[in-house]
A and B are shown apart, each in its own frame.
Chain A
């Protein structure tokens, strides 16, 4: 494959824009359109752009994620959020929220829906990239 300088240069800039946009979508999900699912898909798209632009071996060295572990971690996080509320005497997956004074952000509402969403995010990223990369590495 010929080296494509233009694609590499664009990827180096655009991948960061896509990844930060996915983080924005993830955190905006509580009050605006967005959330764990579309945020995870956008992260997968950003990483996919890296995989398309460079090659599998390089990106595997740069971001050594084990996507199988990532799926398991996400599921454990989502289930753990529900189980915690069981230990506190409420029904499974009861949400708690409170207002905190954070150093830079000021008064912020923190909910236990955020770790649950983070679990969904990790599962979506893991499933999307694992299925795509498994197909890509398959020798036809």
Chain B
């Protein structure tokens, strides 16, 4: 029963990544693609969590945190690039 529901959840998450991928490919603006990529990262965290339950291990717990941190920093950097054209400000103001 648990196995079945985990498989169903994995399939649903894979489909949602597919939908996000469609948005990444044909998103009209850059912002759509950034948000879609962020959502792909978050869904990947869910998939890894379910894989952790399936394999009955704790070994991927660090991977989840690393993906979350990298997705956050990547989104912040891309958002800053869209807003101002530069990722790193040289000087205040």
Binding site for B on A (CB under 8 A): 1, 7, 14, 18, 21, 25, 28, 32-34, 38, 42, 45, 48-49, 51-58, 133, 136-137
Q: A38-B66, A51-B88, A52-B88 are in contact. Are A1 and B93 (CB under 8 A)?
A: yes
Whether B65 is near chain A, meaning CB under 8 Å from some CB there, is: yes
Interface check B59, CB cutoff 8 A: yes
A selection of 10 A-B contacts at a CB cut-off of 8 Å is: A1-B84, A1-B86, A33-B62, A49-B73, A56-B88, A56-B91, A133-B88, A136-B87, A136-B88, A137-B90
Looking at chain A's contact residues, is the secondary structure mostly helix, strand, loop, or mixed? helix
Interface majority SS (helix, strand, loop, mixed), chain B: helix
A18 B92 Cβ-Cβ under 8 A: no
Chain B positions within 8 Å of A, measured between CB atoms, are 59, 62-63, 65-66, 69-70, 72-73, 76-77, 80, 84, 86-93
* B88 and A45 contacting across the interface, CB-CB below 8 Å: no
The 3 closest A-B pairs by CB, nearest first: A55-B89, A136-B88, A57-B91
Query: B77 touches which one: A33, A52, A56 (CB < 8 A)?
Result: A52
| Residue in A closest to B91 when the chains form the complex, CB atoms | A57
- Tell me, rounded to whole Å, the shortest Cβ–Cβ distance linking B49 to chain A: 16
